Amino acid sequence: MIAITSVTVTDERIAEIVLYIEKQGVAAHVSKGEDRTVIGIIGKADPQLAEHLRQMAGIEQVIKISKSYKLASRDFHPADTVIRIKDVAIGGDELVIMGGPCAVESPEQIDEIARLVKAAGGQVLRGGAFKPRTGPYSFQGVGVEGLEMMAEAGRKHGLLTITEVMTPEYVDVCAAHADILQVGTRNMQNFDLLRKLGSIQTPVLLKRGFSATYDEFLNAAEYILAGGNPNVMLCERGIRTFESYTRNTLDLAAIPVLKQLSHLPVISDPSHGTGRRELVEPMTKASVAAGADGLIIEMHTDPDNSMTGDGVQSLFPDQFARLLSDLEKLAPLCGKRFETSKEPVLAGSWKL
């Protein structure tokens, strides 16, 4: 349930109410708005607690929430969550672009791609150091060394970094090198990993499982939030359907639905969502129109020879730059701000 305070309630009174709630053996999570404060009661509470709260000074309304996820619910947190990392705000009126290769391959590769992402106007460098692959003999990433390569490239070019973490054991080392940790589709319900991510404050990009419902997706986010980490982003990356033309089916409806159900920022992944380079541009624009707070897009200097074999869904640098130039015009029409760097994207080691 949630308890909504009156407009005039003081911080001291809110603290007293929270103390009373916690003495009943349940947790209290406070979410302050411009006018009122919402106190979420998490746990199995005594049936009489709701009535006791209604009679307390400073409480205006008590509402029972039937959803299995509480902290992720917009009922609990009516205002949009904005995650601030250095000078980038995710979830507000700024459109955030995360670009880069599926995997870090070498210092030269990730440095050149970081330069191109920055030149095009991107704010976050993406790249995998540990790669979950369907086949055991496929390229699995370069490990901790890859984290160090990407961190250095990010610092050099003024970009935030995001990388995938696969096991609880690697959370701390990944968090030491990256600004954002990504949970892949296969790990959306890896509850040990989610609990570990809840114990830190590093922002988490949680990708939707390829067969997950919206409720299952939001309950996975709840694990992280309940552990004490409020910095969670939801990522729609395509679901598995009967269609075989595309790698997955990008569920565009998930973007406005998740924005209605939850206060958390919503990111779209048109690269994995389609698996086809020629579809990334239109689905990126459609995602922005649907209300996405950001995009995570694969870009590679030599997609056809990438070590992961995912080059068919990776944009060339000039395609990436043109797409971001188009987004500069589209974003304001959709209530977002986005500006390219206005730097020319010069050819380096890549060739069309």
Q: What is the pLDDT of residues 221-230, one digit of tens each?
A: 999 998 999 9
Looking at residue 306, its pLDDT comes to 74
Beta bridge partners of 30: 39
Measure the CA–CA gap between 188 and 186, rounded to whole angstroms.
6
Q: In the structure encoding, which two tokens stand for residue 188, read together?
A: 């959306």
- Per-residue pLDDT of 232-288, as tens digits, reads 999 999 999 999 999 999 999 999 999 999 999 999 999 999 999 999 999 999 999
Looking at residue 138, its pLDDT comes to 47
Whether 153 is covered by a domain: the verdict is: yes
Q: Do 46 and 96 lie in a common domain?
A: no
Task: Tell me what the pLDDT averaged over the chain comes to.
Answer: 90
Whether 346 is covered by a domain: the verdict is: no
Whether 238 is covered by a domain: the verdict is: yes
Whether 314 is covered by a domain: the verdict is: yes
Would you say the C-alpha torsion 191, 79, 89, 296 has a positive or negative sign? positive
Q: Do 51 and 102 lie in a common domain?
A: no
Amino acid at 133: R
Q: Do 49 and 91 lie in a common domain?
A: no
Assign residue 205 the CATH number of its domain: 3.20.20.70
Q: Do 159 and 111 lie in a common domain?
A: yes
Q: Do 47 and 189 lie in a common domain?
A: no
Looking at residue 276, its pLDDT comes to 96
Looking at residue 301, its pLDDT comes to 93
Whole-model pTM: value is 0.87
**Residue 152 pLDDT grade (very low, low, confident, very high; cuts 50, 70, 90):** very high
Whether 273 is covered by a domain: the verdict is: yes
Looking at residue 351, its pLDDT comes to 45
Q: In the structure encoding, which two tokens stand for residue 311, read together?
A: 């080059």
Contact yes or no for 236/217 (Cβ under 8 A): no
- Region 4-28: mean pLDDT is 90
Question: 114: domain range?
Answer: 83-334
Minimum mean pLDDT among 5-9, 302-306, 341-345: which range?
Answer: 341-345
Distance of CA 130 to the CA centre of its chain: 18
**Residue 325 pLDDT grade (very low, low, confident, very high; cuts 50, 70, 90):** very high
Q: In the structure encoding, which two tokens stand for residue 228, read together?
A: 């004490």
Q: Do 48 and 181 lie in a common domain?
A: no
Q: Do 258 and 293 lie in a common domain?
A: yes
* Backbone dihedral angles phi then psi of residue 305, each to the nearest 5 degrees: -120, 25
Whether 301 is covered by a domain: the verdict is: yes
Closest CA to 218 of 349, 328, 48, 68: 68
Whether 74 is covered by a domain: the verdict is: no
Residue 137 pLDDT greater than 50, yes or no: no
Q: Do 152 and 206 lie in a common domain?
A: yes
Measure the CA–CA gap between 265 and 244, rounded to whole angstroms.
30
Residue 340 pLDDT greater than 90, yes or no: no
- Per-residue pLDDT of 99-113, as tens digits, reads 999 899 999 999 999
- Region 185-197: mean pLDDT is 96
Measure the CA–CA gap between 192 and 266, rounded to whole angstroms.
23
Q: Do 20 and 90 lie in a common domain?
A: no
Q: Do 186 and 55 lie in a common domain?
A: no
Assign residue 32 the CATH number of its domain: 3.30.70.1140
Enclosing H/E stretch for 38: strand 37-42
Measure the CA–CA gap between 11 and 32, rounded to whole angstroms.
10
Q: Do 91 and 51 lie in a common domain?
A: no
Residue 73 pLDDT greater than 90, yes or no: yes
Measure the CA–CA gap between 346 and 119, rounded to whole angstroms.
9
Residue 47 pLDDT greater than 70, yes or no: yes
Beta bridge partners of 96: 294
The total number of structural domains that make up the chain: 2
Closest CA to 150 of 117, 118, 120, 106: 106
Q: Do 29 and 103 lie in a common domain?
A: no
Whether 292 is covered by a domain: the verdict is: yes
